[in-house]
């Protein structure tokens, strides 16, 4: 097969460029300590920001729901797969986000594809931050609308592009908290630009939902943006919620349009009802246990102050995502491997996931980490820096 398609040489070239991606098998639940490839390590690369992925009450919710509904959902939501658990969760999520309605998708990737494909068509234009998640780019391509990318958080550049656009309909879409950088989009200004240029506004808050806002409803809550100011809100449930899936929240007409037209909603099997049940329990914990968000914040603060003291490069990020920019792909890999040998799991993120020359360690924190674990990580980073001299200016 590789003869005609040139798969083998392409794979070899990938390897030579240090762009080859490999998987490691995990033999334990998610948590600050995991067993991976037979080795116990401290985990600093999971998106389980609130420490819920292995929480006893989520597991209990799954058990109870499996007893009641079995495992598989059996069909898509529009056929006979839409269970009472899914329906309740949608109502809970609408209330949680202060939106009229919410719609569950099987993954965040599919939610983004579905929204962009259902709302846009040829002749429309979608304006995207250059650092937006891949699923938002793919959704734009699938929609056949014109894709206009603006420099990261560059409001002036975006306004120029909006003013110059002759598209029939316009949509501005951004990550809330950027997945590889951890910084936040200027949502208030973006919302104002959308209103000024009669554009629709969409935020993918995969990394903000659960972690930010007074009750965990994410960046939209932190910025106090209601459904008029931010009509399309996407959240994912596999990160801070420790579960699986995603949702779109907004007005009734938006949600009805997605049910009628979003192909990644219509043509796929509904997630198992037990997953929805676990998410409902996660939502209860997200709303009630403020200490998880506070603890996460204090660990991030501890990490940043220790790094500053040790002269390690930091970015602007104040979120649970704390990248250490290395620059060179090979050095980022070496540093990640060094950390692994010291018992720390930290992933090296390389192009094309991030721009050329900005390979990095993507360090993430969880409310389940201890202060001692954070201190140990910083000590290992210092050692790695000495051993590999691997850092360039990280700003």
Residues that bind ligand PLP (CB under 6 A): 107-109, 112, 133, 135, 175, 179, 204, 206-207, 236, 238, 246
Q: Answer yes or no: are the C-beta atoms of 49 and 239 closer than 8 Å.
A: yes
* Catalytic residue of the set 207, 317, 369, 385: 207
| Cα–Cα distance measured from residue 328 to residue 357, given in angstroms and rounded to the nearest whole number | 6
Q: Answer yes or no: are the C-beta atoms of 368 and 32 closer than 8 Å.
A: yes
E strand residue ranges, the chain: 33-36, 39-43, 101-105, 125-129, 146-150, 170-175, 200-204, 232-236, 246-250, 321-327, 344-345, 347-349, 359-364
Rounded to the nearest whole angstrom, what is the least distance from the CB of residue 256 to ligand PLP in the complex? 23
* Catalytic residue of the set 239, 317, 319, 347: 239
The nearer residue to ligand PLP, 124 or 175, going by C-beta atoms, is: 175
Structure tokens at 76: 């898509």
Check if 152 is active-site.
no
The nearer residue to ligand PLP, 242 or 384, going by C-beta atoms, is: 242
Rounded to the nearest whole angstrom, what is the least distance from the CB of residue 197 to ligand PLP in the complex? 24
The nearer residue to ligand PLP, 51 or 235, going by C-beta atoms, is: 235
The nearer residue to ligand PLP, 112 or 373, going by C-beta atoms, is: 112
| Cα–Cα distance measured from residue 70 to residue 76, given in angstroms and rounded to the nearest whole number | 16
User: DSSP secondary-structure letter at 270?
Assistant: P
Check if 146 is active-site.
no
Rounded to the nearest whole angstrom, what is the least distance from the CB of residue 372 to ligand PLP in the complex? 29
**Nearest alpha-carbon partner for 366 in 297, 315, 312, 281:** 297
* Residue sitting closest to ligand PLP (CB): 108
Residue whose entry in the numeric block shows the structure tokens 């998987």: 23
Check if 130 is active-site.
no
* Catalytic residue of the set 179, 264, 317, 347: 179
Rounded to the nearest whole angstrom, what is the least distance from the CB of residue 335 to ligand PLP in the complex? 23
Residues that are catalytic: 179, 207, 239
């Amino acid at each position: 097969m590789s003869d005609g398609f040139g798969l083998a040489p392409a794979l070899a070239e990938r390897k030579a460029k240090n762009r080859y991606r490999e998987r490691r098998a995990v033999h334990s639940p998610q948590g600050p300590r995991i067993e991976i490839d037979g080795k116990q390590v401290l985990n600093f690369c999971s998106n389980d920001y609130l420490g819920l992925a292995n929480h006893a009450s989520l597991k209990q919710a799954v058990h109870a729901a499996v007893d009641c509904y079995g495992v598989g959902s059996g069909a898509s939501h529009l056929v006979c797969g839409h269970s009472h658990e899914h329906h309740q969760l949608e109502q809970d999520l609408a209330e949680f986000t202060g939106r009229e309605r919410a719609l569950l998708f099987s993954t965040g990737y599919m939610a983004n594809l579905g929204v962009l494909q259902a709302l846009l068509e040829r002749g429309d234009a979608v304006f995207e931050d250059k650092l937006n998640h891949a699923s938002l780019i793919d959704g734009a391509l699938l929609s056949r609308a014109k894709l206009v990318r603006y420099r990261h958080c560059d409001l002036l550049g975006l306004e120029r592009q909006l003013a110059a656009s002759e598209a029939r309909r316009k949509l501005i879409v951004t990550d809330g908290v950027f997945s590889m950088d951890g910084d936040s989009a200027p949502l208030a200004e973006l919302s104002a630009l959308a209103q000024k240029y009669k554009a629709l506004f969409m935020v993918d808050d995969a990394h903000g939902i659960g972690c930010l806002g007074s009750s965990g409803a994410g960046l939209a809550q932190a910025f106090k943006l209601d459904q008029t100011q931010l009509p399309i809100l996407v959240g994912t449930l596999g990160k801070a919620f420790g579960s699986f899936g995603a949702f779109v929240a907004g007005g009734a007409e938006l949600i009805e349009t997605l049910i009628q037209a979003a192909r990644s909603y219509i043509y796929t099997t509904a997630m198992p009802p037990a997953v929805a049940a676990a998410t409902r329990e996660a939502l209860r914990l997200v709303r009630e246990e403020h200490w998880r968000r506070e603890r996460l914040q204090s660990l991030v603060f501890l990490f940043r102050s220790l790094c500053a003291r040790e002269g390690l490069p930091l970015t602007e990020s104040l979120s649970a995502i704390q990248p250490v920019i290395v620059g060179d792909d090979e050095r980022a890999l070496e540093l990640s491997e060094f950390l692994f040998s010291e018992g720390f799991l930290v992933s090296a993120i390389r192009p094309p996931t991030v721009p050329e020359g900005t390979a990095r360690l993507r360090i993430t924190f969880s409310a389940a980490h201890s202060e001692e674990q954070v201190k140990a990580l910083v000590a290992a980073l210092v050692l790695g820096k000495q051993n590999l001299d691997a850092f360039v200016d990280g700003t």
